[in-house]
Amino acid sequence: MLSLGTLGSGAVMLALALAVYAVVAGTLGAVRRDARLQTSARLTALAVFIAATTAVLVMQAALLTDDFSVKYVAEHSRIESPTWVKVVTLWAALEGSVLLWAWLLTAYTAVLAVTAPNTVMRPWALVVMQVVQVFFLSVVALAANPFIVLANPPLDGPGANPLLQNHWMMAVHPVLMYLGFVGLTVPFAFAMAALITRRPGTEWMRLTRRWTLLGWGFLSAAIVSGGWWSYEVLGWGGYWAWDPVENVSILPWFTATAFLHSIQVQERRRMLKAWNLLLIVLTFSLTLLGTFLIRSGVVSSVHAFGDGPVGPFFLTFFVIVSLVSISLVVWRWDQVRDRADLDAVVSREGAFLGVNVLFLAMAFAVLLGTVFPLFVEATTGARVTVGAPFFDAITLPIWMLVLLLMGVGPLLPWRRAETQTLRANLIVMTVAFLIALALAFAFGMRNTYPLLTVGLAGWNLASVGLLLAGAIVPRARITGRSIGQVFTRYAFEQKRRVGSMVVHLGVIVIALGIAGSGGYRVDQQIRLPYGERVPFQGYELQALRPFSEQVAGRASVGVEVAVFQDGREVGVLTPRINRFGTSQMTVPTPSVRYTAGHDLYLALAGAVDPQQDFVIIRAVQSPLITWIWIGGAIIVLGTAYALSPGERPLRRRVGAESTAGAEA
Amino acid sequence: MKGAAVSRWGVARKRLVYGLFGAGVLVLAGFMINQALNTSLVYFILPNEYAQQPSQYEDRRIRLGGLVAPESVRFDDLDLQLTFLVTDGIESYPVQHVGAPPELFRENAGVVIEGRFDEGVFVSDNLLIKHSEVYEAPADGHIDIEALRESLQ
């Protein structure tokens, strides 16, 4: 009988073979301008997707039917695990993650093959996508094959990594991350196609605008949800520790955010051609470099993904991608060189350029801090880590400047600002800044960065208000309609603009959450004798009783703690320690009371000993931390709004193509 | 074509200003990065490495790795003061940590503690248990330093 392992390996091999064919046919078709070969390559993209989907389905079948003859299932699944855990086990370990990544890539490529407008660039863009596809499929087939058949299958497995089983967020976060990475592969592919076809104008970025935004939105959602997962699982009450795994996820986000802004400069002013190309190359190659760093075990991480065989593959591909794409830029230098020049620093493009420099500086500093231990160990043999203070010291001042520019930039016109309007706007914003600052000070805030953040939130709110007023009031005056009507119409017509305002609002909300939780966190261990009320930050905590719980695949031991506020019971928290399957690893699982003002976060500090008449817990109070997750949701909503189809972008697209044609 | 000449001169001057500004920013950034790196580099060492050059790690935050020495653990549950000896088989140092012993904390467990030395006592504010399959605590008291170091990384 054909085993699932063989079937899966076969599907991967078939997908790989088809992808290789698609690269060859696509390249020949593009070089010879042979429409039949091009169509063949496009249709093959669909076949690759079907083969890869088969592989994923086979893996799911193996996981759900507990087929331990498949190596990946034997190593990462367990009979008694709940069904949702079995499903997400696909991305709970290295081999499955790479399979998922490869599969999403084939899905995007197939969609692109069907929907991308028929331009000179399309065949080349598909070739680039398919080259990336060949890389990922060969990693699955050669270095990290999850379908290897075991001669002596075990009766049961150890189950997925306990840290990952411990929260449903883990079902979402990795998928979002890969959707983001893969989404940003599309503009990269079109950038390469633009260079190859000598059309480094704005056409490639117009064609991929939605993909870029989609990838960026997924990546943002992935980073925020990863933070939430850390908060709910790791038990130290924080969400971001500047751990290498976190750092490499935010590196491409920095460059993608810069890219998102600088492509607008090129669209409007025909500037920054080479810069944009380099940014998207950097974004894509950083996803590869990041995967190499954390999957090869060269940097150690608390998330402990461990050593894997895929490291050399990713490093090689990273080097190839960087060399080839940078050579392409250099080769086409005559066409990508900017001919226009910045008219004035105080202009929209000036602000965008400034924010670009800031994001790149952050990316550089974070990358440096992440790999610096490698240099030190290579040169002196000493083992070091770069602590969170380094990353805070570098990124916090830069973030302040980003927030400052975020308020000014959208208000500035392209080319050159009128000094008078600008001055009036700046006065309003400065007043708002000072009012917010004074309010924060009156509420007892004294730390520099949190104070500045609150002030800059006021600055930015004023800026959004001015933007909307500037857009709506004159229209209302001319048309004689009500403000509400004009606003609705404006919001419907200017989806990108309004979407970007919403995203910026989300950024402010997150900044406030970080300021509160970072600057005013109270974290302490408390001894709670059973039955006694112990004060903590305006609360009283009372340990009621220890409990233990057995559910499918999980055993928990914990304590019920009643929470009182002003003498009234407001809830019961149940911090616990989970143990999954036969794993020796225990996962302290916090219990959180979410409120708008602050969170109360309780975690067990040690073992729960039934002989003791007390329990020791770690209590953390984090002001405003919930707003980080809410801000993340606002960013997603804003991105989705900007992406939502409307009448206007459609009309613009037609205009855009005709101007792009004229330019070429 | 006087206008063109002026604008070319203008462009050149603008480039010069941008270039100088950019260079200034780069120098400043380099300085800041260097400064920040120097102050937040945390060395990972074993007790015997500290014993060789205690002055090098004076007033520096370090990560100290080792095993929890048998029969050295004291925990005062009223003050939440945990004290124990951390050892690598060559040297051992007393450790002071505020907080409960974590779930898997036991004698001969591999630990990494973060903090500073204060007059021969390591004052820790972060205690991590390393449960590694690579390194098993020895029964005969002999500790392989390299294996220990690897297991604690």
Q: Give the C-alpha separation, A38 to A118, whole Å.
A: 11
Tell if the CB–CB gap between B80 and A525 is shorter than 8 Å.
Answer: yes
Bridge-partner residues for B130, per DSSP? Answer: B110
- Report DSSP state, residue B65: E
Report the pLDDT value the prediction gives residue B34, as an integer from 0 to 100.
86
A279 pLDDT higher than 50: yes
B32 touches chain A (CB under 8 A): yes
Q: Under 8 Å CB-to-CB from B12, ≥6 apart: which residues?
A: none
Tell me: do A107 and A241 sit in the same domain: no
B63 touches chain A (CB under 8 A): yes
- How would you write A85-140 as a 3-class SS string? HHHHHHHCCHHHHHHHHHHHHHHHHHHHHHHCCCCCHHHHHHHHHHHHHHHHHHHH
Model confidence pLDDT, tens digit, residues A570-591 = 999 999 998 887 777 788 899 9
Tell me: do A220 and A152 sit in the same domain: no
Name the minimum distance, in Å, from the CA of B14 to any CA of chain A: 9
DSSP-H helix ranges across chain B: 2-40, 47-52, 145-152
Name the minimum distance, in Å, from the CA of B37 to any CA of chain A: 6
Q: Give the C-alpha separation, A68 to A153, whole Å.
A: 5
Report the pLDDT value the prediction gives residue B40, as an integer from 0 to 100.
86
Q: Give the C-alpha separation, B117 to B57, whole Å.
A: 8
Tell me: do A601 and A536 sit in the same domain: yes
Within 8 A of B43 by CB-CB distance, chain A residues are 382-384
Averaged pLDDT of chain A: 90
User: Which of A341, A386, A618 is opposite residue B11, by nearest beta carbon?
Assistant: A341
Q: Under 8 Å CB-to-CB from A363, ≥6 apart: which residues?
A: A251, A254, A255, A258, A282, A286
Report the pLDDT value the prediction gives residue B3, as an integer from 0 to 100.
43
B33 touches chain A (CB under 8 A): yes
Tell if the CB–CB gap between A382 and B43 is shorter than 8 Å.
Answer: yes
Report the pLDDT value the prediction gives residue B8, as an integer from 0 to 100.
64
Residue A439: inside a domain: no
- What's the predicted TM-score (pTM) here? 0.92
Tell me: do A23 and A67 sit in the same domain: yes
Report the pLDDT value the prediction gives residue A107, as an integer from 0 to 100.
97
Residue A43: inside a domain: yes
Within 8 A of A242 by CB-CB distance, chain B residues are none
Report the pLDDT value the prediction gives residue B131, as an integer from 0 to 100.
64
Report the pLDDT value the prediction gives residue A610, as an integer from 0 to 100.
82
Within 8 A of A365 by CB-CB distance, chain B residues are 29, 33
B68 pLDDT higher than 80: yes
Report the pLDDT value the prediction gives residue A649, as an integer from 0 to 100.
44
CA of A265: how far to CAs of A40, A202, A216, A283, A460, in Å?
37, 10, 18, 18, 21
Tell me: do A109 and A190 sit in the same domain: no
Report the pLDDT value the prediction gives residue B152, as an integer from 0 to 100.
77
Does the ipTM exceed 0.90? no
Strands B74-76 and B62-68: unpaired
A600 pLDDT higher than 50: yes
Tell me: do A596 and A615 sit in the same domain: yes
What share of chain A has pLDDT > 70, as a percent? 95
Model confidence pLDDT, tens digit, residues A622-635 = 999 999 999 999 99
Which of A112, A238, A239, A256 is closest to A177 using CA atoms? A256
Mean pLDDT of A214-226: 96
B46 pLDDT band, cuts 50/70/90, is very high
Beta carbons within 10 angstroms of residue A394's beta carbon: 24
Tell me: do A526 and A567 sit in the same domain: yes
Question: Which amino acid type is present at position A616?
Answer: I
CB-CB contact of A506 with A500 (8 Å) = no
User: Which of B41, B42, B100 is opposite residue A525, by nearest beta carbon?
Assistant: B100
CB-CB contact of B65 with B148 (8 Å) = yes
Tell me: do A348 and A233 sit in the same domain: yes
Which range is least confidently modeled, A98-112, A413-427, B134-148?
Answer: B134-148
Q: Under CATH, domain B43-152 is a member of which superfamily?
A: Nucleic acid-binding proteins (2.40.50.140)
Name the minimum distance, in Å, from the CA of B44 to any CA of chain A: 5
B60 pLDDT band, cuts 50/70/90, is confident
Q: Which of A145, A160, A175 is the last residue of a domain?
A: A160
Distance of CA A454 to the CA centre of its chain: 25
Mean pLDDT of A464-472: 92
Model confidence pLDDT, tens digit, residues A603-614 = 999 888 888 899
Q: What does the angle CA A42 – CA A45 – CA A47 come to, to the nearest 5 degrees?
A: 120
Nearest CA in chain B to A383: B44
Tell me: do A253 and A302 sit in the same domain: yes
Q: Under 8 Å CB-to-CB from A33, ≥6 apart: which residues?
A: none
Q: Give the C-alpha separation, A590 to A233, whole Å.
A: 7
Q: What does the angle CA B67 – CA B72 – CA B76 come to, to the nearest 5 degrees?
A: 115
Q: Torsions phi, psi of B124, nearest 5? A: -105, 145
Residue A535: inside a domain: yes
Distance of CA A402 to the CA centre of its chain: 19
A654 pLDDT higher than 50: no
Distance of CA A294 to the CA centre of its chain: 16
Tell me: do A155 and A173 sit in the same domain: no
Tell me: do A20 and A89 sit in the same domain: yes
Q: Which of A133, A160, A187 is the last residue of a domain?
A: A160
Q: Which of A134, A160, A186 is the last residue of a domain?
A: A160
Bridge-partner residues for A70, per DSSP? Answer: A149
**SS3 at position A176:** helix
Q: What is the radius of gyration, based on Cα positions, of chain B?
A: 26
Tell if the CB–CB gap between B32 and A394 is shorter than 8 Å.
Answer: yes
Model confidence pLDDT, tens digit, residues A333-358 = 888 887 767 777 788 888 999 999 99
Q: Give the C-alpha separation, A527 to A612, whole Å.
A: 11
User: Which of A361, A372, A605 is opposite residue B29, by nearest beta carbon?
Assistant: A361
Torsion of CA A541, A545, A551, A556, to 10 degrees: 70
Q: State how many domains chain A has.
A: 3
Question: Which amino acid type is present at position B122?
Answer: F
CB-CB contact of B77 with B133 (8 Å) = no
A306 pLDDT higher than 60: no
Q: Under 8 Å CB-to-CB from A467, ≥6 apart: which residues?
A: A410, A411, A501
B137 pLDDT band, cuts 50/70/90, is low
Q: Give the C-alpha separation, A23 to A558, whole Å.
A: 56
Mean pLDDT of A270-289: 92
Report the pLDDT value the prediction gives residue A375, as an integer from 0 to 100.
87
Report the pLDDT value the prediction gives residue A663, as an integer from 0 to 100.
35
A502 pLDDT higher than 70: yes
Report the pLDDT value the prediction gives residue A334, as an integer from 0 to 100.
87
| Selected residue of B28, B33, B98 to mutate for chain A interface (largest A Cβ count, 10 A) | B33
Report the pLDDT value the prediction gives residue A664, as an integer from 0 to 100.
30
Burial B34-59 (b: 16+ CB within 10 A, else e): eebbeebbbbbbbbebbeeeeeebee
Structural domain boundaries, residue A154: 1-160
Name the minimum distance, in Å, from the CA of B83 to any CA of chain A: 15
Tell me: do A100 and A11 sit in the same domain: yes
Beta carbons within 10 angstroms of residue A460's beta carbon: 25
Q: Torsions phi, psi of A570, nearest 5? A: -110, -5
What share of chain A has pLDDT > 90, as a percent? 65
What crossing angle do the helices spanning A244-269 and A209-233 adopt, rounded to 10°? 160
Model confidence pLDDT, tens digit, residues A290-302 = 888 887 667 765 5
Distance of CA A103 to the CA centre of its chain: 19
Name the minimum distance, in Å, from the CA of A398 to any CA of chain B: 10
CB-CB contact of A69 with A156 (8 Å) = no
Residue A435: inside a domain: no
Report the pLDDT value the prediction gives residue A548, as an integer from 0 to 100.
92
